[in-house]
Structure 1
Amino acid sequence: MKNREKYKNELVKVCKSGELMKFFNDYVVPTYDCGNYEVINAEKVALLTALWLDEEYKEEPEVDWSKVEVDTPILVSMNEEDWGYWSRRHFAEYRDGVVYAFKDGATSWTTNLKTEWPYAKLAEPQE
């Protein structure tokens, strides 16, 4: 399956909403380790996006949440369809198949309040 097939619904949303910049920065930039949408020209954005769309989709490895350390940066979402709308949080715990994060981006140092999230993934290290 190609990226264009996997992300078809997200691509339609991008075309309707005009949020190509966010899509490009979230998906294409990490693949090619290139400059973000704001710093490269339109021709390069179009070319890199076209190349990315024709690549085979690579599934992200499953996270073993029971081994994730407290306060690890994670991205969370309430809805799988919100493809680019992930909130930044810090991992609190994994219990009964549910990921919990500290409330409002806090860490164990500043709070003990936790929120459960139906969708979570490890955050990529920021440069």
Structure 2
Amino acid sequence: MKNREKYKNELVKVCKSGELMKFFNNYVVPTYDCGNYEVINAEKVALLTALWLDEEYQKPEVDWSKVENDDLILVRDGDDEEWNRAHFAYYKNGKVYAWSGGKTSWTASSYMHWEYAKLAEPQE
């Protein structure tokens, strides 16, 4: 799936509202590590946006420092293991820690780290 397909509805809304600057700064600038909308010329904005739209969509990495305590996550220790439901405890030294036994901070007294973790989608 291309970025243009993933963000189609948002792009239409942005075009109608005239908030292309915000969209460009939030999505295109981080991808290309370029100057923001305010400092580069319109031709570069158009070219970079066109390139970005034709790239394959990649789910962004999780910024674990912004995940809230007790948020629902999925965890496992190996590539061939099933994902387990857990509640986020904290992130330290590249490791995601979750409350033990699928419990939350309200009921758990311990936590453990996992090799693999991802945010859980509502249907998961």
Using the size of structure 1 for normalisation, the TM-score is 0.53
Task: Tell me the CA shift for residue 62 of structure 1.
Answer: 6.1
Map of 1:76-91 to 2, 5 A cutoff?
91=67
1:46 is matched with: 46
Equivalence map 1:10-89=2 (5 Å): 10-61=10-61, 68=64, 72=65, 74=66
Larger Cα Rg: Structure 1 or Structure 2?
A: 2
Gaps of 5+ in 1: 75-90, 100-120, 122-127
Kindly state the Cα deviation for residue 60 of structure 1 after the two structures are TM-superposed.
2.7
Amino acid at match of 1:18: G
TM-score normalised by the chain length of structure 2: 0.54
Unaligned runs of 5+ in 2: 73-86, 89-118, 120-124
Q: Deviations over 1:5-64 (max 9, x none)?
A: 00001100101100000000000000000000000000000000000000000123467x
In 2, Cα distance between the equivalents of 1:32 and 1:42? 16
In 2, Cα distance between the equivalents of 1:61 and 1:37?
A: 23
Identical amino acids, percent of aligned pairs: 75
Extract structure 1 runs of 4+ deviating beyond 2 A.
60-63
